[in-house]
Structure formats: structure tokens, C-alpha cells
Amino acid sequence: MSESEGRNFAQVLLAHAEQTPDRVAIHLVQNKLADLPITYSQLVHNSSAYAQRLMEAGVRAGDVVVLILQHGESLLYAFWGAVLHGAVPSILPWLTDKLSPEKYRHDLVALIEITQPAAIVTYAEFASEVDQAVAQASLMPRVLTVTGSNSTLKSNAAPPYFQTFSGLQRHADDLALLQHSSGSTGLQKGVALSHQAVFNQLASYAGAIQLSASDVICSWLPLYHDMGFIAAFVMPVLMGVPLVLMSPFEWVRAPARLLLLITQYGGTLCWLPNFAFNFMAQKIRERDLAGIQLNSMRAFINCSEPTYAASHALFAQKFAPYGLQAGTLTTCYAMAENVFAVAQSGFDQATRVETRQGAALLSAGKPLPNVRVQILDEQRQTVSDGQIGEIAIQSNCMLTGYFHREDLTTATLHEGWFLTGDLGYLSEGELFVTGRKKDLIIVGGKNVYPQDLERLASDVPGVHPGRVVAFGVPNEASGTEDVIVVAETDIADEDERYRVSDAVRQSITQNSDVAVRVVKLVEPMWLLKTSSGKLARGANREKYLAETQAASTT
């Protein structure tokens, strides 16, 4: 994609609409409705109405526009409309039934304060929710509304008008996108990416996965997370590869639907977090697999949380009778700070497995040609092959910075290298990811900051404020991490303790992106502190595991 040098998203999108107007960019899978094919011409036409709205609202090129919309047509058009207008779109997770509106509003205020968006696009029926958050913020973005997730705005735009889109004037080094991870902490840490960084990633990654116009990408991934957003939205649309897109909510309820889409559309590529391999192998009934044909698949790409050989084995065993080919289960190591992929396995040779300390580790493959990987020790010195250290990366597709967070940008960059906070080692040119240096919990591919969960649990009456730790423990059966919360309490009465642990569970479910697996209430002074008086998550995790182990063997 050398032709993208010096170009921007709007130019590339318009080129598709001009050269292949009738080619389907996205097959939008809708709940209880027929799939909706959206051609490049329709995509640009419908998106241009949003570009117009943004212009009329006084949004300027380079301004951030936050999108709070559900899976559906309006989200697609609002996103590409912001691109055509030259704004910097950021897609936020939708407020699900389980989340408390108060918490959502609180997070939104925090996001507005740091990101300072010029506009927020949401549904008319959700506008009052957003307005309340906007009213609490010190600066007030415009709230633009659309009605219904499948509504389209009227557009006056016709091809000659296209040339007036201000998005066409953006420089390659201007910001194209902002990506946030979830929770109060994640929302205050927007990864800012330039047009050129995204193009560089796409060119390099497309080569690594041998992407071509004959591919068909099938996805249920949410668009507010880098895996779904880049690999299964921005990449296919900008590179002219058809995308079949279903909603994450529907996939959770009916995972077999994804396989049906692969069968119907002849899907070739699908990105999934590790737990999805277990989930689909364990939850899909044989009767829901009638007629499923997976022969067309070139690769399922396991990405965005620790990958397990056992998960691949489960998946292969279940779906081999339905045409799943050997060697099509691959892995990828990715992060928003590098736009997406850092390394990818499986396309030039089978994904390697190495056994280390009794554990079978899946290789994440070779680093992409445009990415350099170093493993650093505590003194930030390079270690030799096979030794575990912090993974540091350098590439031509790195973040411009954390948006309006110069402090964080400085802290994570060391002499031009991005310190990932992940642990791993290199072996024969391939990267193996072994764990994390940073205290981060990854559940079902979602990054969760333990401090957010600890704060929530601390506020529950009966829990000693500040005497809580949250951490993740890998669960082989589910293929992801279980969230464990250990909290100190004085309460001895059993019924009363259930009430406290329920309240902790409920608060976290309703105020975060994850559900808690275990709430363990302990007596005061159970939790270990570091020498500086801070609660040590790692040490308390070890203590919890030792106690659980002891309890299960007695």
C-alpha cells in the first residue's frame, strides 16, 4: 500500500467509492432483519450526511468527535462521516443493560475533561443521559442526535460535492483516530493515532496475513476495542476487503451464528479473543451446526488476551468435522499503541508451541516487518534469546501519544521504544508472551484496570475502604482470566457476609465492563502491603492462590 504515502483516510475511502462504487464494503448483520449490504457508494453517501451535520455544528477538522452508538448503520456512517469531515472519531462502548447510568455518566465526564471533544454523537433517546454528563464537565461539547440505530440522515451530497470534504485536506501525520480502553482509567488514556501510522500498520499487517481482495472477514467484535476496530472495521474498509459484521451482543447469545455467516459468505479470516475459542467449542450444540462449512477459512486469529494451546485443541476437535483445516488456528500479539498487530503467527509456517516450566506456550509469531521487538531486563538492558523480560517495541506505526496526557506518553516511552508492560521472550525470531509486568486484568480480551474495581469494592458498606485488591487468575476451562476480589471486613455473621460479597459483585458488574468470579472476604490485616505501605497485588494474588490450593487439597 505504498500509494497511501502522504494520503489520508478520506482520500482512500473516496477512491474506493469512485473506482468500485457498487462493491459491498460491509454486510451488516442485523438482529431479526435481513443482512444489509452496504456498498462503498452508499457508505460514502450516507456518511457524508454526518460530515455535513458535523460541519453545521461548527466542528472543525482535527476536533475530536465521540460516538456513543450501538452496533448498527448509524455507527458506521457517523464514524466515516467524521473521517470525511476531517474530525478525529472515537467510538465509546454503549451503555449496556448491566451498567449503571450514574457510573457511565461519571466516566463520560472524565473522558470529556481530558479528551475535550467538540461533539458527541448519540441517539435522541440517549441525549438526556449525555446532556447530564456534559453539564457536569467544565467545557461543553455539542451533542448531536440521530434516531434509532439503523437510521440514516438525509444527504445532499453528490459526487461533485465530495471534493469539498475537509477530511481530504488532512495531512498524513495528523491524528486520524482515538482509541480508549474501558473503565475510568482506560477512558482517561486515549491512544492517538495518525493516518500514516494506521496506513503503515495496514500495509505491514496485510503482508503478514497475505490479505487480498478475495478475502472475506467475518466478525462479531465490538468496534470500541482495537482488535475489532482495526482488524475487522478500519482495515477491511480502507483496503477494499468485504466485511461481514455482526453484533457482539448477538454473538454471546448465539455464537453459532458467526459460523453460519462464515458458511454463507465464504469467510476467510476471523479475529477472536482466546476465550471465544473455548466458548464456541463448549457452548455450541451439534444441532446448531447443521450445514456449517468452514473450509473457506484461511485463519482464525487468536488475539488480545493470553493464548492457550488447549483452547486451540478444543476448537479444532469440535470444528474439524465441519471443515476446519489444520493449521488455520493462528495467534497475534497486538496493542492499540502500535495501531494493532506487533507479531503474527501461522501464515508462513504452523504456530509453534514451546514448553516452558511445564506450560505449553503458543508463539505469537514473528514481529511484523515494520516492528522491532526487544526484551528488556529491570535495568532496561537487552536480554539474550530465551530470557524473559519486558517486551519493548519500536515501529513506524506507533501512537502519536496518549491524547492530552503528555505525562503518560513520557512514562511509557524509553529512548524511542514503547514499553508494553507485557513480559515475554524471543526464540528463533519468534515472540512468546508469558505474562504481564503491569497490574492489568484481561478478561475476554477486555483490559480492566484493577484499581477501578478496587475503588468500587471499597465503596461497599462493610468493606474496609482501601483494603481491597483485585487481580486476574487464568481459568483453563473458560480460556480467559477469572476476576478475583479480596476484601477485608470486620463482619463475622454469615448472612451479613453474603450481603457484603453480593454488593461487591453487583457494584462491579454494574459499574465496570466485567463480572467478578470470586469475592473473597477476609479478616482485617489479611492483605499484604509493600514496604512503602501500598497493597501488593502480586503478593496477595500468590497468598490467595496458596490458600485456595490448600483448601482444595484438604
**Contact residues: other proteins, CB under 8 A:** 97-98, 249, 252-254, 279, 283, 444, 478, 498, 501-502, 505-506, 509-510, 515, 517-518
Nearer to other proteins, 99 or 388 (CB): 99
Nearer to other proteins, 215 or 513 (CB): 513
Nearer to other proteins, 428 or 502 (CB): 502
Could you tell me the smallest distance in angstroms from the CB atom of residue 437 to other proteins? 28
Nearer to other proteins, 161 or 498 (CB): 498
Phi, psi of 30 (to 5 degrees): -115, 145
CB 302 within 8 A of CB 311: yes
User: Would you call 522 helix, strand, or coil by DSSP?
Assistant: strand
Could you tell me the smallest distance in angstroms from the CB atom of residue 443 to other proteins? 10
Could you tell me the smallest distance in angstroms from the CB atom of residue 252 to other proteins? 5
Could you tell me the smallest distance in angstroms from the CB atom of residue 326 to other proteins? 28
Could you tell me the smallest distance in angstroms from the CB atom of residue 435 to other proteins? 24
Grid cell of 438 as nine digits: 503491569
CB 122 within 8 A of CB 211: no
Tell me, what DSSP letter sits at residue 232? I
Could you tell me the smallest distance in angstroms from the CB atom of residue 448 to other proteins? 13
User: Would you call 261 helix, strand, or coil by DSSP?
Assistant: helix
Read off the amino acid at residue 498. Y
- Count CB atoms within 10 A of the CB of residue 33: 9
Nearer to other proteins, 62 or 474 (CB): 474
Alpha-carbon gap, residue 55 to 280, rounded angstroms: 44
Nearer to other proteins, 438 or 497 (CB): 497
Alpha-carbon gap, residue 233 to 217, rounded angstroms: 9
Alpha-carbon gap, residue 15 to 3, rounded angstroms: 12
Alpha-carbon gap, residue 170 to 160, rounded angstroms: 19
Could you tell me the smallest distance in angstroms from the CB atom of residue 306 to other proteins? 18
Could you tell me the smallest distance in angstroms from the CB atom of residue 32 to other proteins? 8
Q: For residue 112, with 0-12 CB atoms within 10 Å meaning exposed, 13-18 middle and 19 or more buried, which class applies?
A: buried
Alpha-carbon gap, residue 2 to 23, rounded angstroms: 22
Nearer to other proteins, 44 or 519 (CB): 519
Alpha-carbon gap, residue 325 to 331, rounded angstroms: 15
Nearer to other proteins, 60 or 98 (CB): 98
Alpha-carbon gap, residue 168 to 84, rounded angstroms: 7
